Each structure stands twice: as structure tokens, then as C-alpha cells.
Amino acid sequence: MPALPDAATPTHCPYCALQCAMTLTPAPDAVPAVPTVEGRAFPTNRGGLCKKGWTSPALLGSPDRITAPLIRGADGTFREAGWDEALDLVADRLRETRRLHGADAVGVFGGGGLTNEKAYLLGKFARLALGTSRIDYNGRFCMSSAAAAGTRAFGIDRGLPFPVDHLDAAETVLLLGTNVAETMPPFIGHLTGAQAAGGLIVVDPRRTATVRLTENGQGMHVQPTPGSDLVLLLGLIHIVIAERLWDEAYVAERTAGFPELRRSVSVWWPERVASETGVPVPQLREIARRLATGRGTYILTGRGVEQHVDGTDTATAAINLSLLLGLPGSQHSGYGTLTGQGNGQGGREHGQKADQLPGYRKIADPGARRHVAAVWGIDPAIIPGPGLPAAQLLQSLGQPDGIRAFLVHGSNVVVSAPNAAQVAAGLAALDFLVVCDFFLSETAAIADVVLPVTQWAEEEGTITSLEGRVLRRRRAVSAPPGVRDELWVLHELAERLDAPSTFDVDPEAVFEELRLASEGGIADYSGIDYAMLEAGEAAYWPFPRGSAGTPRLFADRFGHPDGLARIVAVAPTPPAEPLNVDGGLTLITGRLLEHYQSGAQTRRVPELAAAQPHARLQLHPATAARLGIDHDALVEVVNGRGTVRCRARLSVDIRPDTVFLPFHFPADESANVLTLDAVDPISGMPEFKKSAVHVSPVIEAVDARPALEVVV
């Protein structure tokens, strides 16, 4: 392992896919040795960081770090063990599971926070060392609908097909289902041009921090009923066509499928759309006209419109609207989707997904199998076929013909997966559970073996940002003694399992292999190397060998063989369960500024935990009055999947028919106990954003109530 730098280390934030640049400076006299952090000039963040970024080094010195392998004893408690004992045990149990139940009885679950190198090697390990098809990752809960829609329409899936700073010159930006002011605050610096032009349009059932950016003449808030985004988009498309606002030359020359779309949206006249979405007809017309006539127009989607059982079709409708307006590939306009997790883009490109091989190749494609097998030095016949998407994979845990042994890397499924109580029950029913983590997360706490691994600033590797730019992650501090990198863990297990091919421990060597495996694929990294990234060159994929990369996609052609984008007619489907029945409400979930994902990291940062220590149910005062709920009262949120107990937060920023819970908290405050594991049939995305619930006050002793806060 290379020596640590004596001075400051340039790297990137460990959290969201904006991947803000930062500099870590050693603090040799500090115990533990937590570096200081400064923002660094970079196109995405321009030196700024959010609360999570500024406090990220605190994780490196957390007293909660696991620093030795943990093995659960016969009495149900953990004991510390040596690495050889732990890895021997893991290998023996995995081998025995395969012998008794077959290779597909072993499952692997990855994460969108793993480096490209780890994601690549984990996919290779699952398919060669374990021989299983049962691998997927938590990015299925994040980007899968947008990815499926982008691939279907454009023939390629890159979250933003243009650099983030191209948004600076935009005069109109439509944000659908994303609260960037809280989820990636430095991003809002790229919206100031649209604000100044009065063209920031935010679609959200809540009045969020992002919505507030539209105030004072800077834009418009569109507040539809939860889950009606597809109908809203179909209505906008109807208006664009009816008023001949579409770019006829662009549609004729660069797309296929317009006649079918035109017929399909004829039934979505403005008055009907208004009745189903709650968005007034004049506002619908104003949006359509602004999008069509504004200079520098961008349409951006986020999880709020994608995390539904019709999420792929909703994202497709947004793409259809952008194609009608001639935005994709335009020099000054565009369409994109905002990747959430730190390496959500790269993590889905190189082998963690159930149906993919490195380079965004389809695992069922014989040519793709031959190419990757040649790089791995194996017979392509031994590569398993497609597996199960994440929700179905988790549903199979502990089932007689399902997963019996499970390895989890970079994810906390007990908190982050839909229908979380059922997931916890499935994990408890396993014969064997192994978790790689640096803290004892809620998932690690129920494992049979926990393997302590390095954190972001303790490792080398690459990550790929939301704009498709490959970045270097650099080692700035030493990991605690006893902690190991996951590349080493996979190498050691592969050796014990007599895996074919090689499993290198050096991240640069793994990246060199990844380059070869991706070559010629949709996500081609073959022209990128560590020396280029060390020198600070911008590396946007696809980056074939000998090219200069592709900062902006679709200037001349789309990714389909004929170069045309596909306009795909879509239509609404019934909700996964009845909503707003018998006094019930619709639950939507999302993030808070201070926390990230399952909260396993941010809940361990004192400053962030103090600011948001618990989940709060946001509900409208009129709804609270109807239900007899006071501000800060203890409430129960209930449906057939589970119960959440938390404090109420009354706010006029939410619709009276809707309640909101953040999903960062465990146990009785876990929002995902209430969410559905019904999935989009195309992407496998679960229904996170639209769950039927009933809310009621809980009678408690007077002295049990905390001090009241000011109602916002």
C-alpha cells in the first residue's frame, strides 16, 4: 500500500452523486487522526459543500468503527475473531450452501456507494467464485426506472448526458420530483440563471426548500397529487402538440414513434388532466408554453417521479416531452436525470445489476459474454444468466427454493428496502448472513459474520458522477488496524473458493481489467487510466480508446443502431393499492438535508444527529385538526405492512391528502416498514412514493412530551 501523503489530499465527498470536490489535510496531533476538510474548486460545487460534506471526516474517527471481524456465537452475541478464522468460516459456509442447495442459493447485494473497482470485482466474484446469478444492488431502488427509460429512448443510460455547469446558461429548468436544495445543495448554484429569468419550475406535492427557490418571481411551483406525474406529463405533451409548440423538424429527423404518441395523448385534454392531478388548466398551459419558447430549456427528473410501479413510463413521458421540444442533443438545452448515490452511475455499469456485465453489457447477449469471458480468461458458458432484481431477490431470502446464504456489501437493507419488516424477517430466516461494513448498521447487527472494511478516505479507486465523469478517490488517512479493503476481502474469499480467473487487490490493476471488460460496450471506459485522472483531465464516458471522451451526448445521433431516439407511447396504470380510502392518507418518503440514505453514517455524526435526531411526520394542519393531532404529538402511522411511531410536524407546505416521512431512521421510526415491494415491471423499481396509511394520535403521559418547537 502506498505511503500516506504528508500534505493535503484532493478527493471527493463520500455522499451524493454530485461528488463535490474537497481537500483533506492531515491532523497529526488529533486523536483519532481526523483530517480537516476544505471545499475545492470544481465545476460541480465550485468550492462549496453541504452539511454532510463539511462533517464527513467525523466518520473516520467515529467510536462506532468495527475494527475486527465479528462472529456470532451460539449464545447469539458477537465475539471478535481473526481474519483467517472469519474468512475460513465464510468460505466453508458458502461452499456448503452451494453443495446442499445449488449456486443460486447464495445471494449477493451490492451498493451504489462502492467504487467502480469494488462494484466490478463484486460482480465478477458473484458469478465466478460463487457461480450465482443472484446478485443485485441498492441502485435498483434509486436509478432503475430512469435507467430503463433512458436506455429504451436513447439506447444509452447516462444520468446527465451533459456536464452540470451547462445548466448555468439555462433560462428554463423543469425539475420533476427532486428536492436538490436539500439532497445536493451545491447543485442549486447551477439554477441561478433560470431563477433570474423566472424560469425555474418545480413539480412536487410538497413546498420544499427547492420550491422556495421559485418565489419572488423566480419561477413556479406545481403541486400535483402524489403519483400523478405521468398524467401531468401526458397533459403537457397534449398541449404541446395541440398548440403546435413542438419542434417538427427535430422530431422528423431525429426520432421515431411520434404518430403513436400523438394518438395516445389525444385523450389527455387539459381539463381532464387538471381533474386528476389538481394542477389548474392555466398553469398547465403556462408550463407547456414556457418550455417551448424559453431559450436554454432543460427537463430534469428525480426519484419523486421515478420510484413508482409506473416509474419507467413516467420517466419515458418526460423524455417524450423533451424530444418533442428538441432538447436532447441541443447545444443549449437537454434532458437528464439526477443520480442519487455517490457512485450510482458507475455502480450500475460494471456488473452489480442482475442482468448486466461490465460496460453496461446485457448478460444474456452471447457476444457480451464472449467479450467479458475473454478478459477473465474463462469459458463463457460458466457465466450464469440473468438473476433477480433487488426487490424480488430480497423477497426470496430464507425461502425453501430461494436464498439461503447472503452477502451484503455497501447497503443497509433493513432500513432502506421496501416492506422492510418482511426483509428483516427474510434475513432472520437465512442459514448464513455476511455483512461488510465499517459500522454495526441495522443489517450488520443481525449478521452471522461482520467483516470490517475501509471507508472512503482510507481507500483508492474511482467513482463516476451524475454527469458521467470518472473521478479519482484518493487515500488520505490510514484505516484502523484490523480493517481491510473489500478488494482484499474478495481476493481472499475467491482463493479459498478456488475461483477461476484473478482477483487483484490493487485498485489500479482492477481498473485496468475493468477498462478491457468495458471496451466496446455502451459504458466504454477503455480510454481512461489512472494517470489521466491523476492529471485532472475530464473523463466523460463513453471514452473509447484513442478518443477524447464524450462530455455531451447525442449531438449527432442517439445510441440506437439507426441513430434515432425512440418516442414510446405510455399510459397510466392503476395504483399498486387503493389510496385515500376511509379517511386514509397517501404517504410519500424522502430525504432530509442532514441525513443520507439509511442514516447509518450520518446518524453517527454528532452535529447532524443533533439537528435531526428523529423522524417527524409532516402533515397539514387541517388534516391534523381532523384527526385530533397537535403539533409535536406522538402519532402512529399504520398500514397492513407495519406501524411507525414518531412525532408530528404540522406544516402548510404539504397537501392535506398527503403525509411525508424521511427514510433515514430505523426501528419504530422506519418509513420503509410502510412502503410497498410491488415493482415496476420493466425496471424492478419498488413503489416507494405512494403508500396508503392511516394516522392517529397516541395518548401519552404529560411528562413524556419533549419541549415544543416553533411550527414552520
Q: Does the pLDDT value for residue 702 go beyond 90? A: no
What is the model's pLDDT at position 707?
46
Architecture, CATH, for domain 70-142+344-534: 3-Layer(aba) Sandwich (3.40)
Q: Does the pLDDT value for residue 711 go beyond 90? A: no
Q: How far apart are the C-alpha atoms of 325 and 249, rounded to whole Å? A: 10
pLDDT bracket for residue 536 (50, 70, 90): confident
Q: How far apart are the C-alpha atoms of 119 and 358, rounded to whole Å? A: 10
212-262 residue pLDDT tens: 999 999 999 999 999 999 999 999 999 999 999 999 999 999 999 999 999
CB neighbour list of residue 707: distance below 8 Å, 6 or more residues apart: none
CATH topology of domain 9-61: N-terminal domain of TfIIb (2.20.25)
Cβ burial, residue 631 (10 Å; 0-12/13-18/19+): middle
pLDDT bracket for residue 294 (50, 70, 90): confident
CB count in 10 Å sphere of residue 645: 15
Q: Does the pLDDT value for residue 427 go beyond 50? A: yes
In angstroms, the Cα distances linking 213 to 173, 196, 353, 481, 593 are: 12, 11, 36, 47, 15
In angstroms, the Cα distances linking 207 to 76, 174, 650, 651 are: 47, 15, 13, 9
DSSP 495: H
What is the model's pLDDT at position 700?
81
In 3D space, the residue among 324, 302, 323, 296 whose CA is nearest the CA of residue 314 turns out to be: 302
pLDDT bracket for residue 540 (50, 70, 90): very high
Q: Quick one: average pLDDT of 279-287?
A: 98
pLDDT bracket for residue 5 (50, 70, 90): low
CB count in 10 Å sphere of residue 499: 20
What is the model's pLDDT at position 28?
72
Q: How far apart are the C-alpha atoms of 515 and 366, rounded to whole Å? A: 20
What is the model's pLDDT at position 535?
87
Residue ranges with strand state E in 324-374 = 334-337, 356-357, 361-362
Domain ranges of the chain: 9-61, 70-142+344-534, 144-337, 585-704
CB neighbour list of residue 614: distance below 8 Å, 6 or more residues apart: 646, 647, 665, 669
In 3D space, the residue among 339, 302, 342, 297 whose CA is nearest the CA of residue 322 turns out to be: 297
89 touches 476 (CB < 8 A): no
Backbone φ and ψ of 102, nearest 5°: 95, 160
Q: Does the pLDDT value for residue 299 go beyond 60? A: yes
Helix axes 229-242, 311-324, angle to 10 degrees: 20
In 3D space, the residue among 143, 105, 112 whose CA is nearest the CA of residue 411 turns out to be: 112
Q: Quick one: average pLDDT of 99-108?
A: 98
* 437 three-state secondary structure: strand
Q: Quick one: average pLDDT of 537-565?
A: 96
Q: Does the pLDDT value for residue 709 go beyond 50? A: no
475 touches 481 (CB < 8 A): no
Per-residue b or e along 380-406, where b marks 16 or more CB atoms closer than 10 Å to that residue's CB: eeebbeebbbbbbbbbbbbeeebbbbb
In 3D space, the residue among 224, 219, 189 whose CA is nearest the CA of residue 206 turns out to be: 224
91 touches 434 (CB < 8 A): no
What is the model's pLDDT at position 710?
37
Q: Does the pLDDT value for residue 4 go beyond 90? A: no
Say what the pTM is: 0.95
Q: How far apart are the C-alpha atoms of 145 and 395, rounded to whole Å? A: 20
Query: Given this structure, which CATH class describes domain 144-337?
Result: alpha beta
321-357 residue pLDDT tens: 999 999 999 999 999 999 888 898 999 899 999 999 9
Q: What is the dihedral of CA 353, 357, 358, 360, to 10 degrees?
A: -70
Q: Quick one: average pLDDT of 373-383?
A: 98
Q: Quick one: average pLDDT of 299-305?
A: 94
Q: Quick one: average pLDDT of 302-322?
A: 95
Q: Quick one: average pLDDT of 470-489?
A: 95
User: Is 585-704 a domain of CATH 3.10.20.30?
Assistant: no
Residue ranges with strand state E in 414-560 = 432-437, 449-452, 461-464, 470-473
Q: Does the pLDDT value for residue 657 go beyond 50? A: yes
Q: Quick one: average pLDDT of 84-107?
A: 98
Q: How far apart are the C-alpha atoms of 410 and 414, rounded to whole Å? A: 13
How do beta strands 405-409 and 361-362 pair?
A: unpaired
CB neighbour list of residue 631: distance below 8 Å, 6 or more residues apart: 624, 648, 649, 650, 708, 711
What is the model's pLDDT at position 100?
97
Q: Does the pLDDT value for residue 708 go beyond 60? A: no
Q: How far apart are the C-alpha atoms of 327 and 320, rounded to whole Å? A: 10
Q: Does the pLDDT value for residue 706 go beyond 60? A: no
Q: What is the DSSP string of 568-604?
A: --------SS--S-TT-EEEEEE--TT--TTSTTGGG
Domains 9-61 and 585-704 equal at CATH topology level: no
What is the model's pLDDT at position 712?
41
Structure-block grid coordinates of residue 564 = 434515432
Cβ burial, residue 656 (10 Å; 0-12/13-18/19+): middle
% of the chain residues with pLDDT over 70: 97
